[in-house]
């Protein structure tokens, strides 16, 4: 008995392809963000008035490394779901939109030296992270949970961005 195309097993991509698809966008976001941010730290950013809860500069790299690793793993878990999984495409679209907004925040806040512009980007970023979690949750509980530390950090970054804008307006 032959299997009709409608009932044929779904071919899954290689694990290596999914790893690349999960990791490359996160590494690109990290590299672009760093390229825009790092040159501004000793100059423009150093001249800004900052709130007393502003963390030391050295803390940002390890925090972002951990967050990006969790984001990549979450995306990888979603990528490994069967292609026909309902909601998978929308979940990955939300994920990539929030990742683009993450990069845009660095470009606006640091690249354009604009705390106000940073606020206008970070609020939709935070919203898109929450949308991503909502779209990941029915597909993979762990993938959704991996993004909660990112929500916490971006919430803190939102408060920091607003505070920096307020103190330097």
pLDDT in tens, 35-86: 999 999 999 999 999 999 999 999 999 999 999 999 999 999 999 999 999 9
Q: What is the pTM of this model?
A: 0.91
Output the pLDDT for position 11: 61
Domains of the chain: 14-167 (1.20.1260.100)
DSSP the chain: -PPPGGGSPPPPPPHHHHHHHHHHHHHHHHHHHHHHHGGGIIIIIHHS---TTPPPGGGHHHHHHHHHHHHHHHHHHHHTS-TT-TTHHHHHHHHHHHHHHHHHHHIIIIITT-HHHHHHHHHHHHHHHHHHHHHHTTT-HHHHHTTHHHHHHHHHHHHHHHHHHHHT-
Closest CA to 86 of 36, 139, 39, 40: 139
**Is 31's pLDDT higher than 60?**
yes
pLDDT higher than threshold 80 for residue 7: no
pLDDT tens column, 124-137: 999 999 999 999 99
Instruction: Name the pLDDT band for 3 (thresholds 50, 70, 90).
Output: very low
Question: What is the pLDDT averaged over residues 147-157?
Answer: 98
Structure tokens belonging to residue 36: 């825009």
């Amino acid at each position: 008995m032959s299997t009709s195309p409608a009932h044929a097993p779904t071919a899954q991509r290689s694990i290596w392809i999914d790893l690349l698809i999960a990791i490359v966008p996160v590494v690109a976001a990290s590299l672009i963000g760093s390229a825009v941010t790092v040159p501004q730290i000793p100059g423009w950013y150093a001249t800004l008035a900052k709130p007393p809860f502003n963390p030391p500069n050295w803390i940002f790299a390890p925090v972002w490394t951990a967050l990006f690793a969790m984001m990549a793993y979450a995306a990888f878990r979603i990528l490994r779901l069967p292609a026909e999984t309902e909601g998978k495409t929308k979940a990955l679209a939300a994920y990539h939109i929030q990742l683009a907004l993450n990069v845009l925040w660095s470009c606006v806040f640091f690249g354009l030296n604009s705390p106000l512009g940073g606020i206008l980007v970070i609020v939709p970023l935070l919203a898109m992270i929450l949308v991503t979690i909502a779209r990941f949750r029915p597909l993979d509980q762990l993938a959704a949970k991996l993004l909660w530390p990112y929500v916490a950090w971006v919430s803190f970054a939102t408060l920091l961005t607003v505070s920096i804008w307020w103190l330097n307006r």
